[in-house]
Amino acid sequence: MKRKDKNKRKKLPKHRFTAATADKYELYQLAVQSPEEDIDFLIDVCKSERGRTPRHFREDFCGTGLLTAAWIKRDPANTAEGFDIDPEPIEWGQARHFAELGEAAKRATIHLKDAREPSNTAPDVRCAQNFSYWVLKTRSEMLNYFNGVREDLADGGVFVIDLHGGPESIDVMEEETELEDEGFTYVWDQDRHWPVTGEARLFIHFRFPDGTEMNRAFKYKWRLWGLVELKDVLEDAGFDQVDCYWEGTDEDGESGNGVFTKESKGEHCAAYVAYLVALK
Ligand SMILES: C[S@@+](CC[C@H](N)C(=O)[O-])C[C@H]1O[C@@H](n2cnc3c(N)ncnc32)[C@H](O)[C@@H]1O
């Protein structure tokens, strides 16, 4: 998973993790997830594009449901649904994110179901985060998913997907990010790439200060979709408007600053993360 910039970090004791003691879902959360920033973005986009505050949220490919739980916590008027086909992260999330919510957890429904299944209630805003929808490998599968999303959204609803791209995104390479405050190293491994199908085999490894490693903690076989082809498929699915939100840069002009704004052209860079926002 390409990391989005996580600008909020707590000081935590170093060396608290080793391969033997660490929990892969906790490490994943610390390394790549920023639920509060994601929710700010979703709400801002709904307000600016639709002039209203979204209440019912749907998270596709929700994994542990961290984002869904944060949505519920954000406002007592909020409700949510999450969809994932793997019981393991769902159970982990029930114990770690939803148990502490008490009664409020009843405002969320986590479905052990395919992300292409319909919602109980039409969502005001729906998202697929961290490129998970790239598990869909053909144009017809992607179009079928986007068609279903559009039909299922509330009138005036908003669908948000993230993506990564740039020439480095198809390289076979390993990118190490040392998370000093958390006390481990996150490794994004672009292990194999097949140009004819556009598929790639990707791993996440975690390395620890004591020299141990959690190898291949997460594995993905995805098609590497391009920004423009995804935009085309969203338009073919009949969304009224599809916009790209592009990340600004830090003062050094090199790294992303975590602030995404609407952009019609973008600029060349070796690796980027962006959002596509589709309006029903
Ligand atoms: C990369 S994780 C994403 C977790 C979380 N959404 C995030 O933002 O980090 C991908 C998740 O997609 C789930 N998944 C894969 N295929 C799916 C499908 N067809 N329907 C629903 N979930 C699926 C996997 O079980 C896994 O939990």
Q: What is the CATH number for 138?
A: 3.40.50.150
Whether residues 77 and 139 fall in one domain: yes
**Domains of the chain: total:** 2
Mean pLDDT of 229-246: 98
In a domain, 217, yes or no: yes
- The long-range contacts involving 147-152, CB below 8 angstroms and separated by at least 24 positions, are 147/237, 147/238, 148/116, 148/118, 149/60, 149/237, 150/237, 150/238, 150/239, 150/278, 150/280, 152/118, 152/119, 152/122, 152/123, 152/126
- Point out the domain boundary residue: 205, 222, 239: 222
Whether residues 210 and 232 fall in one domain: no
Model pLDDT, residue 256: 85
Whether residues 199 and 232 fall in one domain: no
Whether residues 260 and 160 fall in one domain: yes
Residue-wise pLDDT for 40-72, tens only, equals 999 999 999 999 999 999 999 999 999 999 999
In a domain, 20, yes or no: no
Whether residues 119 and 210 fall in one domain: no
Going by pLDDT thresholds of 50, 70 and 90, the confidence category of residue 250 is: confident
Check if 34 has its Cβ closer than 6 Å to any atom of ligand 1. no
Whether residues 129 and 196 fall in one domain: no
Whether residues 248 and 138 fall in one domain: yes
Check if 129 has its Cβ closer than 6 Å to any atom of ligand 1. yes
Whether residues 111 and 238 fall in one domain: yes
In a domain, 143, yes or no: yes
CA 212 to chain centre: 28
In a domain, 104, yes or no: yes
The CA 61 to ligand 1 mean position distance, Å, reads 3
Residue-wise pLDDT for 108-136, tens only, equals 999 999 999 999 999 999 999 999 999 99
Minimum-distance ligand 1 atom for the alpha carbon of 116 = 20
CB contact at 8 A, 88 and 49: no
Whether residues 101 and 234 fall in one domain: yes
Whether residues 249 and 262 fall in one domain: yes
In a domain, 197, yes or no: yes
Reduce the DSSP state of residue 192 to 3 states and report it: strand
In a domain, 210, yes or no: yes
In a domain, 11, yes or no: no
Minimum-distance ligand 1 atom for the alpha carbon of 83 = 21
Minimum-distance ligand 1 atom for the alpha carbon of 32 = 9
Reduce the DSSP state of residue 261 to 3 states and report it: strand
Q: Which token pair is 93?
A: 């999330």
Check if 46 has its Cβ closer than 6 Å to any atom of ligand 1. no
Q: Which domain holds residue 193?
A: 170-222
Residue 3 has pLDDT above 80, yes or no: no
Whether residues 208 and 253 fall in one domain: no
In a domain, 263, yes or no: yes
Q: Whose CA is nearest to atom 27 of ligand 1?
A: 63
Whether residues 98 and 116 fall in one domain: yes
